[in-house]
Structure 1
Amino acid sequence: MKAFQVSAPQDYRLVDTEVPDAAPGEVLVRVAFAGICGSDMHIIHGDNAFVRFPRITGHEFAGLVEAVGEGVQGLAIGDRVCIDPVISCGHCYPCRIGRPNVCTALEVIGVHRNGGFEERVNVPAGNVHRLPEHLGLDAAALVEPYSIAANVLGRMQPHPGDRLLILGAGVIGLTILQVARALGIEDVTVSDVIDARLATARELGATRTLNGAEQDVEAEVAALTGGEGMPLIADAACVPALLPQMLRMASPAGRIGLLGFNPTPSDLVQLEVIKKELTLVGSRLNNRKFPEVIELMASGRLDPLALVSHRLPFDDMPGAIEMIDHHPERARKVLIQIGA
């Protein structure tokens, strides 16, 4: 069977590999669709500290159960499924308090073990989620990025009537926008420096957009809120230098959700945090958010296919990587069709 393997930074290609048997406690999934994520690009560039090479990447995927391993219950051959990539031990402190997405022995499918950019892949049965019949496998392949959005919003604990500012209108910013609207947050401002991205944000329900290259975002937020500041700020731009501005723009008792893995230090003015009693929360992967996102998609409150800019066959995978690398302005979410 075919697989997309990254053997070392900048060393990637389609390879032939053996079809695995369904391992005990696991199911063999025939992959239908998989999405290319920024995290996959970081692996290719050698910027992911967690990956072990060689690696078949891909953590956003959906398909059909092809075989069921020993001891697996509740899943059958032919089931339409998507896969939560978060594998946790169940015993460490984070797992014991209900935070398995930061398990001390965390593994991520497509990072620590082989992922969905192959025709068939073994995955733990507990990570497999059956899909409603009317939810397409192409849409279901994008449950994972929406689970990132659901997770950060859950960490920020919105209150009724809260306003939300999203910094960055890339894929994650747009998923946060869609999930926020689906959860009833009515006033959502999105900031970016690329007009095309802001136009997409408006199409997907942003109340207003701000171009940070042309407008003073901090002044606009102050005017909009009468100087009070934003109760909720989601950092989907993941630029450490923006943290001081986020502290200033946050309202007293505000919550700031941070998503970036950038190791560059940020300036944190403790006075801003303390005088407003701000809450800064990190958000990594997702904490059992797949059922919530699947329900939102099935109900029509999320439109994942609106994010897709390209659908390409598996054979074009290397070319897709080259396009994202050299012409990122053309690509929003690139969806790869691997099987039928």
Structure 2
Amino acid sequence: MRAIEVRKPGDIHVVEVQKPELETDKDVLVKVQAVGICGSDMHIYHGSNPFTVYPRIIGHEVGGIVEEVGSGVHGLRRGDRVALEPISSCGVCYACKKGRPNVCAKLEVFGVHRDGGMREWMVAPEANWHKVNGDLPFEAAALVEPMTIGAQAAYRGNIEPGDTVFIMGAGPTGIACLIMAKQKGATVFISDLQANRLDYAKQVGADFTIHLPHEKPEAVLFEKTDGEFANVVIDAVGTSTTFAEAVKLASVAGTVVTLGFNETPSDIPSLLLTKKELTVAGSRLQTNQFPDVIRQVNEQKVDPASIISHRFDFDEVKKAIELLEKEPAHVRKAVLIFEREDESK
């Protein structure tokens, strides 16, 4: 079968590899139909992901159809449409015992620590595959995973109806956070340097957009919230500067959620945290968010495919990578199609 493999940083190819087989009675073989390209895939391509060993078949935003199940699989059957939950955890460490396998001491992610879904077939345990409606497009199934990232940020921020939320960054992750914050009943502000990204954010529910650097978040939030600022600030940019600004722009008794992996220290006086009694929460991957996100998708409350701006056949992966490198501001989400659906059915 064919797969997309990063042999080493900057070196990506469509290669021939052996088709995987079931290894345990709990395994499920899926015919991959669509895979989203994530920022982490780009980091692996650029050599900036410290967890990856090369060569690596990338891809963790996967939608497909069940082709074969092990004898111990009872929740899925041949023909089911599924979305991949790409994390594997040990179940016994402190994090797992606390119900947070997304930060397991032995965490592994398909497409990062082990081979992922950019291949024609993929095997993973039943627990990693979530059934979706039979009429849901495969590309929408693939993008359930990034929606769960937004759901996790909303969960970590404890967003409640009526809250004011400020999201920093209107890229794919920021948009996912926006969509899920609106599902929680929040009033949402979102900022970005690119006007086209903000235009799209408005289309999918943003109440207020802030076009940097022409508008200042502090001034806009002060005016629109009568000086209260944002009850929840989600930093989907992840720089030392944005994190420090997020702490500054959070309201009294507010929460700051950071999704970044930046290693540069931020200069934040403890006075800001203590005086406002802020909660600062990291948000990584997701914890048990798939069932609720899939419910919302199945009920057509959330449409993951709406964030797609570009589609490519999987053998056009180099073309997709080139676009993401040269014109990132014009790409909301690029999806690789492994097999076209028969729209006549």
TM-score (norm 1): 0.97
Alignment-derived partner of residue 150 in structure 1: 151
Alignment-derived partner of residue 44 in structure 1: 45
Q: CA deviation at 1:134?
A: 3.0
Alignment-derived partner of residue 133 in structure 2: 132
Moved over 4 A (4+): none
Alignment of 1:246 with 2:246, yes or no, is yes
Show CA shifts across 1:77-115 (max 9, x none).
221111100111111111111001000000101111111
Alignment of 1:181 with 2:182, yes or no, is yes
Q: In 1, distance between residues paired with 2:13 and 2:57?
A: 10
1:302-313 paired onto structure 2 within 5 Å: 302-313=302-313
Alignment-derived partner of residue 82 in structure 1: 83
Q: CA deviation at 1:196?
A: 0.5
Q: CA deviation at 1:306?
A: 1.8
Alignment of 1:6 with 2:27, yes or no, is no
Alignment-derived partner of residue 34 in structure 1: 35
Show CA shifts across 1:289-339 (max 9, x none).
111111111111112222111111111112111111122133210011112
Alignment-derived partner of residue 227 in structure 2: 227
1:181-330 paired onto structure 2 within 5 Å: 181-185=182-186, 187-330=187-330
Alignment-derived partner of residue 58 in structure 1: 59
Q: In 2, distance between residues paired with 1:95 and 1:329?
A: 37
Q: CA deviation at 1:181?
A: 1.2
Contact kept? 1:55, 1:113, Cα under 8 Å? yes
Q: In 2, distance between residues paired with 1:160 and 1:308?
A: 28
Q: Equivalent residue of 1:311, what SS?
A: strand
Alignment-derived partner of residue 343 in structure 2: none
Q: In 2, distance between residues paired with 1:262 and 1:98?
A: 25
Show CA shifts across 1:145-201 (max 9, x none).
00000001101112331111111000111111111112222x111111110111001
Contact kept? 2:222, 2:228, Cα under 8 Å? yes
Alignment of 1:97 with 2:115, yes or no, is no
Q: In 2, distance between residues paired with 1:338 and 1:321?
A: 16
Q: What code does the residue aligned with 1:116 have? A: G
Q: What code does the residue aligned with 2:339 have? A: G
Q: In 2, distance between residues paired with 1:55 and 1:152?
A: 28
Q: In 1, distance between residues paired with 2:205 and 2:262?
A: 29
Show CA shifts across 1:22-41 (max 9, x none).
12021111100000001100
Q: Equivalent residue of 2:118, what SS?
A: coil
Q: CA deviation at 1:70?
A: 4.4
Q: What code does the residue aligned with 2:135 have? A: H
Q: Which runs of 5+ in 2 are unaligned?
A: 341-345
Q: In 1, distance between residues paired with 2:236 and 2:90?
A: 29
Q: What code does the residue aligned with 2:260 have? A: G
Q: What code does the residue aligned with 2:65 have? A: L
Q: What code does the residue aligned with 2:217 have? A: V
Alignment of 1:71 with 2:78, yes or no, is no
Q: In 2, distance between residues paired with 1:244 and 1:309?
A: 31
Q: In 2, distance between residues paired with 1:21 and 1:246?
A: 47
Contact kept? 1:146, 1:179, Cα under 8 Å? yes
CA RMSD of aligned residues (A): 1.1
Alignment-derived partner of residue 114 in structure 1: 115
TM-score (norm 2): 0.96
Greater displacement, 57-66 / 129-138: 129-138
- The alignment-based identity, stated in percent, is 43
Q: In 2, distance between residues paired with 1:198 and 1:287?
A: 28
Q: In 2, distance between residues paired with 1:323 and 1:335?
A: 12
Q: Equivalent residue of 1:58, what SS?
A: coil
Q: How many residues align?
A: 339
Alignment of 1:163 with 2:164, yes or no, is yes
Q: In 2, distance between residues paired with 1:70 and 1:303?
A: 34
Q: Which runs of 5+ in 1 are unaligned?
A: none
Q: In 1, distance between residues paired with 2:311 and 2:70?
A: 32
Contact kept? 2:160, 2:184, Cα under 8 Å? no
Greater displacement, 324-333 / 115-124: 324-333
Greater displacement, 122-131 / 146-155: 122-131
Q: Equivalent residue of 2:309, what SS?
A: strand
Contact kept? 2:108, 2:114, Cα under 8 Å? yes
Q: In 1, distance between residues paired with 2:143 and 2:49?
A: 21
Contact kept? 2:159, 2:184, Cα under 8 Å? no
Contact kept? 1:64, 1:81, Cα under 8 Å? yes
Q: In 1, distance between residues paired with 2:64 and 2:246?
A: 40
Contact kept? 1:134, 1:298, Cα under 8 Å? no
Q: In 1, distance between residues paired with 2:156 and 2:10?
A: 35
Q: CA deviation at 1:69?
A: 2.8
Q: Equivalent residue of 1:266, what SS?
A: coil
